[in-house]
Structure 1
Amino acid sequence: MIGLVLAAGAGRRLRPYTDTLPKALVPVDGDTTILDLTLGNFAEIGLTEVAIIVGYKKEAVYARKEALEATYGLKLTLIDNDKAEEWNNAYSLWCGRDSIKHTVILANGDTVHPVSVERTLLAARGEGKKIILALDTVKKLADEEMKVVVEPGKGVRRITKLMDPAEATGEYIGVTLIEGEAADELADALKTTFERDPDLYYEDGYQELVNRGFTVDVAPIGDVTWVEIDNHDDLARGREIACQY
């Protein structure tokens, strides 16, 4: 098993930080970045290798690669997304399709979360589950969140931002365990998704899988403090909670 981080995004709503850095390298606790926190989580659960999808301002990640490897005891492989500033992240995850064959814990490069999330996903493995989404069933939802409807015994039925929050079981927090045996089917679903519309999310690829009859499971993370950092308000929240981990 390896880690996989989507860190290709520009994060334009976080300017001026992202004038020179990808969103994943925005500091949240002193010099500690979002990427640092994710790599720390991966190291804490015993992973030794991590693939990072890079794109926007990728040279900043390349410049820190050796230092990050030394700090967290990880071997890092950087994978270039050549369309990071043009297309959405369905294509970005597809760029990491070979890494997924090793079984991965995938983390969005803008999610500040504690290592308990990764541990919850690991504990949920087995019983034929191939893709397991970390799900917050506690947080009150609004329009921006990636909302999920789960049917007991059947897994995810819908995953989209475009849903009445009252209909949702919870929010997908941007962390997934993907077993290697799901790699080819997921890659094909992602390709279908970005070829239909390059502005779609990789979560739309998950929906494509569900539509094909593939079971996508969830693991509720409990009452956990986390934040997806999209704007300066989110960043302020991330800085409040990052020092707690």
Structure 2
Amino acid sequence: MIGLVLAAGAGRRLRPYTDTLPKALVPVGPEEEGSGRAAKTVLDLTLANFAEVGLTDVAVVVGYRKEAVYERKAELERTYGVSLTLIDNDKAEEWNNAYSLWCARDVLKEGALLANGDTVHPVSVEKTLLAARGQGQRIILALDTVKQLAEEEMKVVTDPEKGLQRITKLMDPADATGEYIGLTLIEGDAAEELADALKTTFERDPDLYYEDGYQELANRGFKVDVAPIGDVSWVEIDNHDDLAKGREIACRY
């Protein structure tokens, strides 16, 4: 199994930081005095989590300002003891992330622990997903069932027997089981079916999310499982308020 990070997005709501950087490389931690290293980013934190759970082969899908990731590749490999494969998304500034995940369809065949490049979270989430394996699950979504939900969250409805039923932001929060936090465990034998669902999704509308690909799978009868992460602090960084919260959370990890 490998680690996989989606880091191709432009993050326009985080300007001016993202004028020159992809969202995954916006600083969320303090500079380490005397280390000669820049402040930690979401990508740093995610790679550290992957390494802690033994995932040392990592693929990163890059697109917007990808040269910044290429420039840091060797340093990141040294710092976290990982081997990075960078996958170019040629439509990162035109299409949404259903296409971005589809770009990684070949590495998904190895089995992957997927993390969005804008989610600050503790390593306990990776540990929860890995611990949930072994009972025939092929795709497992990390689910926050504790947080009070609002309009912007990626909300999920699950069935105890059938798994994921709905995943969308366009849902009454009161109807949701919880929020998908942007991490998924994908077994290798699910790769082809997921890739096909993603292709169907972005061909229908290139502005759709990869979560819409999960919905396509569920609609086809594929069981998508979830794993509750418990009461943990995490944030998806979309705007400057999220960034401030991410920096506060990152100091704890």
Q: Same fold (TM over 0.5)?
A: yes
Map 1:226-245 → 2, pairs under 5 A:
226-245=234-253
* Paired AA for residue 158 in structure 2: V
Distance in 2 between residues matched to 1:47 and 1:87, nearest whole Å: 29
Pairing partner for 2:206 from 198, 208, 216: 198
Q: 1:97 aligns with which of 90, 93, 105?
A: 105
1:160 maps onto 2:168 in alignment: yes
Correspondence for 1:81: 89
Q: Which whole-Å deviations, capped at 9, do the CAs of 1:22-67 have from their partners, x for residues lacking one?
A: 0000000020001000000000001110000000000000000000
What displacement does 1:153 show? 1.1
Shift in Å at residue 230 of structure 1?
0.1
1:129 aligns with 2:137: yes
Task: Give the secondary-structure state (helix, strand or coil) at the position aligned to 1:27.
Answer: coil
**Paired residue type of 2:111:** T
How far apart, CA to CA, are the structure 2 residues paired with 1:48 and 1:11?
Answer: 27
Identity of aligned residues (%): 82
1:62 aligned to 2:67?
no
RMSD, aligned α-carbons: 0.3
Supply the AA of the counterpart residue of 2:181. I
Give the whole-Å Cα distance in 2 for the aligned partners of 1:98 and 1:168. Answer: 33
Alpha-carbon separation, structure 2, partners of 1:16 and 1:48: 32
Alignment of 1:177 with 2:185, yes or no, is yes
Task: State the AA in 1 paired with 2:59.
Answer: A
Alignment-derived partner of residue 34 in structure 2 = none
Alignment partners' CA distance in 1, 2:245 and 2:61: 25
DSSP-derived class of the 2:146 partner: coil
Matched residue, 1:116: 124
Offset of residue 127 of structure 1: 1.2
Residues of 2 paired with 1:127 and 1:48: CA distance? 24
- Paired with 1:98 and 1:8, the residues of 2 have a C-alpha distance of 17
Shift of 1:96: 0.3
1:17 partner amino acid: Y
The residue type equivalent to 2:161 in the other structure is: G
Distance in 1 between residues matched to 2:154 and 2:203, nearest whole Å: 21
For residues 110-168 of structure 1, what are the alpha-carbon distances to aligned partners after superposition, in whole Å with 9 as ceiling and x for unaligned?
00000000000011001110000000000000010000000111100000000000000
Aligned equivalents of 2:201 and 2:55: distance in 1? 30
Shift of 1:78: 0.2
For residue 7 of structure 2, what is the aligned residue in structure 1? Answer: 7
Partner of residue 19, structure 1: 19
Tell whether 2:29 aligns with 1:29.
Answer: yes
Find the residue that maps to 2:107 and give its secondary structure.
Answer: helix
What CA distance in whole angstroms lies between the structure 2 residues aligned with 1:237 and 1:48? 28
- DSSP 3-state at the match of 1:141: coil
Counterpart in 2 of 1:53? 61
Using the size of structure 1 for normalisation, the TM-score is: 1.00
Separation in 2, partners of 1:44, 1:123:
14
Q: Look up the SS of the partner of 2:13 in the other structure.
A: helix
Divergent runs of 4+, >6 A: none
Tell me, in whole angstroms, the C-alpha distance in 2 between the residues paired with 1:127 and 1:139: 27
Matches of 1:167 and 1:227, distance apart in 2: 22
CA distance in structure 2 between the partners assigned to 1:72 and 1:239 by the alignment: 20
Count of matched residue positions in the alignment of Structure 1 and Structure 2: 245
User: Quick one: which of 138, 146, 158 aligns to 2:146?
Assistant: 138
